[in-house]
Chains A and B, each alone.
Chain A
Amino acid sequence: MTDNEFIWRIAGGSGDGIASTSQNFAKALMRSGLDVFTHRHYPSRIRGGHTYTEVRAAAEPVKSRGDGYNFLLALGDSFARNPQEDAYYGNEEIKPLSENLDELREGGVIVYDSGLLDASEIEDFDARVEENNWHVYDIDLRNMARDVGREVMRNTAGVGVTCALAGIDLHWIEELMSDAMPDKILEPNLDILNQAHDMMLEEYDIDAVDVTVPEGSHDEEQVLMSGSDAIAYGSLDEGCRFISGYPMTPWTEVFTILSQNLPKVGGISEQVEDEIAAAALAVGASHAGAKAMSGSSGGGFALMSEPLGLAEMTETPVVLIEAMRAGPSTGMPTKPEQADLEHVLYTSQGDSQRVVFAPGTVEEAYTQTRKAFKIAYEYQIPAIVLYDQKLGGELVSLPASHFDEEPNPSLGSTLTEAELAEAPHDESGKYSRFQHDVEDGVSPRSIPGQKGGRFLATGNEHTPEGHIAESTANRVAQMDRRTQKLEAIHEELASQGDTHQTHYGPDEATYGLMTFGSQQGTVEEAVDMLNDQGYSTKALGVSDMAPYPAEEVTEFIESVDEVLVIEMNASAQFRGLTQKELGQYGEKLSSLLKYNGNPFEPLDIVEGFKTTIIEGSELSGAETKFVPAAGD
């Protein structure tokens, strides 16, 4: 936790415009030269229900939501249920204020809309304020907004107040509003922004507040992007022009971005009857010659299990996206978790084979989605991008150049008609689509409509021409060839200069933190804090779930005395995978788990590490759980 950062939490009701206000605010801070990172918290409801977004900004890189926060703008839940109508829910309107106090840091600032909220309804409010040395400003934002025109503009009024207190130059906000808002609403919004800002300077003592926005500058032009954006853009740049899906939170974001944009570039989006169809359509489109994808979250992905196996057996390239959310079953739809790892790795019958990447950051989401397509089409195998609600939804500032890449529309190991003319065929003229002895196990494919390419694709075991066959020799040859592809992929991934795994911290360290997917940035911040406190620590963020990067992980584990594995699930799935793949280290890997619906904060890890690994004590509290090393 540095004092040199600003973490602003805007809280209100779902439907109060929290998302767009916070996005604009984050972008304004990014443009002012700061690195920003946002974190969304929302219930699985459309209207009503307490929601907030945090915007963390600092001059140095920010990789997680941070620990706690230091500035609260509580708007009040304008869609809250009327307590008279449904007493069970009590007074929800006050929740954006009352429910956000626990994590507010000492010396923090509270601005709340006194037009909607009455702090005296909160037990011990004044005492807590005094104890924590908070600075409280009750401002009638609603009335201010009403005077200028519409009540919804109280968000803008709140931003004006924030800028006055935190010392943010209004022109960053004005510029952004001018870009983002249509003329009709721009004028009144600019008015209220300035009014609220100036009123604060004139009427309030703001010098007491020491939560201010730091100054920073970027060497390179920045963009504010989410994991969902990155996955969608990575797909598009890899030539994907077909998507099929069925809505399910949080996968819906990627599906929406591509559904809105693919048709604009001559692509096709299909919203279909269920996820079995969604995956089967992607297979059909790929078979017919498109770069195709589908995806879902846990429940929908479960339905894709059989088409996934069909893609494997028919060697039809396809990319599937799995956006994890808290399970089992419907679980907690809007909460992040990393508990579908085993589901994604092992679902579907037989010795099925696939590639699974779990990107750790927004940049990796872009790069690894592209790689997933590349591998899928070169090796004719399904590739899965596994992420979660956290990575999908968080907005991060990044150099624009990272996304300024050339497209790769190649269909990979697919033949043209001219090449087919030279390729092997059986006596009846069927193309030998599934030849036994081929380099890396990859037998190039043809596409329906091509002259000289006809073959049968089937989920049954098959001969080189695709005929259903159960002879033992052919079976073994085909099975071995399909397996060989995975070995070749493993080799390709390991030999690329820049592997998908991210090493962080000093080369030499006593302790290791290991994680997969979206917790990477948080773990890295924890590593910095631990080293500052004198605990020699380094980290490894693993993205290749299949094929597993055994050599690289072994090297990491060997280089430290002890490893704590960090993951957001209750059954230590990633640690289990690591032990299974490496066949050892049971005595060296312990786990820190979190599965309460919230992602790790850096301090969870720092405290968890010190308590368990250093002191050997029990963790108190129910937020995280420690599972000690158990032997192999």
Chain B
Amino acid sequence: MSAFSAIGDGQPTDQDDYTPELEPQATWCPGCGDFGVLKALKGAAEELGRSPEEMLLCTGIGCSGKLNSYFDSYGFHTIHGRSLPVARAAKVTNPGVEVIAAGGDGDGYGIGGNHFMHTARENHDMTYIVFNNEIFGLTKGQTSPTSPKGHKSKTQPSGSAKEPLRPLSLSLNAGASYVARTAAVNPNQAKEILVEAMEHDGFAHVDFLTQCPTWNKDAKQYVPYIDVNDSDDYEFDKTDRREASDMMAETETALHEGKVLTGRYYVDDSRPSYGQEKRAIGEMPEEPLAERYFDDSYEWERSADLFLDKHK
């Protein structure tokens, strides 16, 4: 019998189950795109029937990191840039838990960029939502790695001299097996994409355009948006690396020319997840590690039996 009976209990849920009744301090500004992520996530979790107690939502620091305050589940609000290493360790320790990591563009593409690359490369079976508002929200509007070139802020008074980072391309090259972009202003697509991401057996990266009306004054509301999978103007095969790569590059460039392209860019269902790879080489137990600590009948190995002889 599992020590974690919330996992896969199949109980129907509705969106209210993810709303903490005790309303914590409201910290998001009116009109903030972050509300869109919250709504899409609640919708996706409900649709998939994931109960709050089989989900672990790991966030970074930023306005985006406050997602934990509004979404009721097991949560780990970590430190700036480090949601992914915490999340992926939780996943290998107890693979039955639905692990979702989330954070801002500064959090994930800047300070946590190294973890982003490596978590994608390892292809952990988890979903990673990046609230991309092209700005540092919480610290009051400084330039972020995705701020467009020339973007002025208090810390770059003459405008950014840097090309913005290309998150989709980076993700693909690092090894993510599901890459999508959606926008807070597009709730239906956002929910569908999160459902697919959570169902995907591998690292699913969702670059979520979230407008920040408070600090990103010249930011668009990310409308009108075009879904590249639906539009006749775009023809590409999202299971083909090269075509996906071209489509991503076009999308990233277009955003800074005022055109908002969204959709699924890359989907590789054939690549085994990290857990599968690790189990295949005998480096991860078949039974979740976390269960063992609650199993009174387990015979724990002793170093004396394993190693003492070779020291004699």
Given contacts A272-B85, A428-B72, contact A447 B290 (CB under 8 A): yes
Residue of B nearest to A278 (CB): B85
Give CA–CA (A292, B90) in the complex, Å: 11
Q: B85 touches which one: A261, A276, A448, A449 (CB < 8 A)?
A: A276
Is A164's beta carbon under 8 Å from chain B?
Answer: no
Give CA–CA (A288, B301) in the complex, Å: 21
A266 with B21: CB separation less than 8 A: no
Interface residues of B in 267-298 (CB under 8 A from A): 278, 282-285, 287, 289-290, 292-294, 298
B93 with A285: CB separation less than 8 A: yes
Hey, what's the 0/1 contact readout for A464-480 against B, CB within 8 Å counting as 1?
01111100000000000
Hey, what's the 0/1 contact readout for B121-145 against A, CB within 8 Å counting as 1?
0000000000000000000000000
Given contacts A242-B289, A460-B77, contact A453 B53 (CB under 8 A): yes
Is B73's beta carbon under 8 Å from chain A?
Answer: yes
B86 with A290: CB separation less than 8 A: no
B79 with A310: CB separation less than 8 A: yes
**Which of A217-225, A514-522, A539-547 is the interface stretch?**
A217-225
Please give, as numbers and ranges, the residues of chain B lying within 8 Å of A447 by CB-CB distance: 3-4, 94, 290
Given contacts A223-B312, A417-B5, A468-B24, contact A268 B73 (CB under 8 A): no
Interface residues of A in 438-473 (CB under 8 A from B): 447-460, 465-469
B76 with A314: CB separation less than 8 A: yes
Please give, as numbers and ranges, the residues of chain A lying within 8 Å of B287 by CB-CB distance: 266
B311 with A225: CB separation less than 8 A: yes
Given contacts A284-B76, A467-B24, contact A268 B92 (CB under 8 A): yes
CB distance from B30 to the nearest CB of A (A): 20
Is A270's beta carbon under 8 Å from chain B?
Answer: yes
B289 with A266: CB separation less than 8 A: yes
Please give, as numbers and ranges, the residues of chain A lying within 8 Å of B61 by CB-CB distance: 459
Is A216's beta carbon under 8 Å from chain B?
Answer: no
Is A110's beta carbon under 8 Å from chain B?
Answer: no
Give CA–CA (A17, B72) in the complex, Å: 59
Please give, as numbers and ranges, the residues of chain A lying within 8 Å of B308 by CB-CB distance: 223, 400, 403-404
Please give, as numbers and ranges, the residues of chain B lying within 8 Å of A407 by CB-CB distance: 300-302
Give CA–CA (A244, B115) in the complex, Å: 14
Given contacts A223-B308, A223-B311, A458-B68, contact A289 B302 (CB under 8 A): no
Given contacts A277-B115, A405-B302, contact A288 B89 (CB under 8 A): yes
Is A263's beta carbon under 8 Å from chain B?
Answer: yes
CB distance from A380 to the nearest CB of B (A): 14
Please give, as numbers and ranges, the residues of chain B lying within 8 Å of A272 by CB-CB distance: 85, 118
Give CA–CA (A405, B303) in the complex, Å: 8
CB distance from B59 to the nearest CB of A (A): 9
Please give, as numbers and ranges, the residues of chain B lying within 8 Å of A232 by CB-CB distance: 303
A457 with B76: CB separation less than 8 A: yes
**Which of A62-70, A233-241, A337-345 is the interface stretch?**
A233-241
Is B87's beta carbon under 8 Å from chain A?
Answer: yes
Given contacts A242-B93, A307-B82, contact A284 B304 (CB under 8 A): no
Given contacts A406-B302, A428-B72, contact A270 B22 (CB under 8 A): no
Please give, as numbers and ranges, the residues of chain A lying within 8 Å of B93 by CB-CB distance: 242, 268, 284-285, 288-290, 292
A451 with B312: CB separation less than 8 A: no
A454 with B52: CB separation less than 8 A: yes
Q: A288 touches which one: B25, B56, B117 (CB < 8 A)?
A: B56
B82 with A273: CB separation less than 8 A: no
Q: B53 touches which one: A409, A452, A466 (CB < 8 A)?
A: A452
Is A486's beta carbon under 8 Å from chain B?
Answer: no
A268 with B289: CB separation less than 8 A: yes
Please give, as numbers and ranges, the residues of chain B lying within 8 Å of A18 by CB-CB distance: none
Give CA–CA (A449, B9) in the complex, Å: 10
Residue of A nearest to B121 (CB): A273
Please give, as numbers and ranges, the residues of chain B lying within 8 Å of A270 by CB-CB distance: 89, 92
Hey, what's the 0/1 contact readout for A253-266 against B, CB within 8 Å counting as 1?
00000000101111
Give CA–CA (A560, B300) in the complex, Å: 47
CB distance from B202 to the nearest CB of A (A): 18
Is A607's beta carbon under 8 Å from chain B?
Answer: no
Please give, as numbers and ranges, the residues of chain B lying within 8 Å of A430 by CB-CB distance: 20, 22, 72
Q: B306 touches which one: A261, A282, A306 (CB < 8 A)?
A: A261
- Tell me which of B3, B89, B94, B290 has the highest count of chain A C-beta atoms within 10 A of its own C-beta: B89
B79 with A449: CB separation less than 8 A: no
Instruction: Give me 23 A-to-B residue pairs in the complex whose CB atoms sit less than 8 angstroms apart, sorted by A's number.
Output: A224-B312, A242-B289, A268-B92, A273-B115, A276-B82, A277-B85, A280-B85, A288-B290, A310-B79, A417-B3, A417-B4, A427-B22, A447-B4, A447-B94, A449-B53, A449-B56, A450-B3, A451-B53, A453-B53, A454-B73, A455-B75, A457-B75, A457-B76
The 10 closest A-B pairs by CB, nearest first: A449-B4, A284-B89, A289-B290, A428-B21, A233-B303, A284-B86, A280-B85, A458-B77, A223-B311, A288-B90
Which residues does A use to contact B, with CB under 8 Å?
31, 221-225, 229, 232-234, 236-237, 239, 241-242, 244, 261, 263-270, 272-274, 276-278, 280-285, 287-292, 306-307, 309-310, 314, 400, 403-407, 409-411, 414, 416-417, 426-428, 430, 447-460, 465-469
Identify 5 new A-B residue pairs, CB closer than 8 A, beyond the known A274-B114, A276-B115, A288-B93: A239-B293, A263-B282, A287-B86, A400-B304, A454-B72
